[in-house]
Amino acid sequence: MRLTGRIAVVTGASQGIGAATALTLARRGSVVVLVARSAEALESVVQRVQGFGGRAVAVPADLTDVDAIGTLAERVLGEFGAPDVLVNNAGAGRWLFLDDTPAAELDAMTALPFSAALHVTRSFLPAMRSRGAGRVVNVNSPVSRMPIPGATGYAASRYALRGLTAALRQDLRGTGVGVSEVVPGKVSSAYFRNNPGAEERIPLVARLIPTVTPERVAEEIARAVERGRDEVVFPWQLKAFDLTNRVLPGVVSYLTWRTGTHR
Site residues for ligand NAP per CB under 6 A: 12-18, 36-38, 41, 62-64, 89-92, 112-113, 139, 141, 184, 186-187, 189-191, 194
The C-alpha atoms of residue 86 and residue 174 are separated, in whole angstroms, by: 18
Nearer to ligand NAP, 149 or 184 (CB): 184
Q: Which bin fits 53, alpha (ψ -120 to 50), beta or left (φ > 0)?
A: left
The minimum distance between CB 64 and ligand NAP, in angstroms, equals 5
Nearer to ligand NAP, 31 or 34 (CB): 34
The minimum distance between CB 4 and ligand NAP, in angstroms, equals 25
- Residue 190 CB: number of other CB atoms within 10 A? 11
The minimum distance between CB 221 and ligand NAP, in angstroms, equals 11
Q: Which residues contact 93 (CB under 8 A, 6 or more apart)?
A: 108, 109, 112, 153, 154, 157, 195, 198
The minimum distance between CB 123 and ligand NAP, in angstroms, equals 14
Q: Which residues contact 240 (CB under 8 A, 6 or more apart)?
A: none
Q: Please state, in angstroms and as integers, the Cα–Cα distance from residue 60 to each residue in 40, 152, 217, 237, 259, following that order.
A: 9, 29, 23, 36, 40
Catalytic site includes residue 254: no
Nearer to ligand NAP, 192 or 252 (CB): 192
Nearer to ligand NAP, 18 or 54 (CB): 18
Residue nearest to ligand NAP (CB): 91
**Residue numbers annotated as active site:** 154
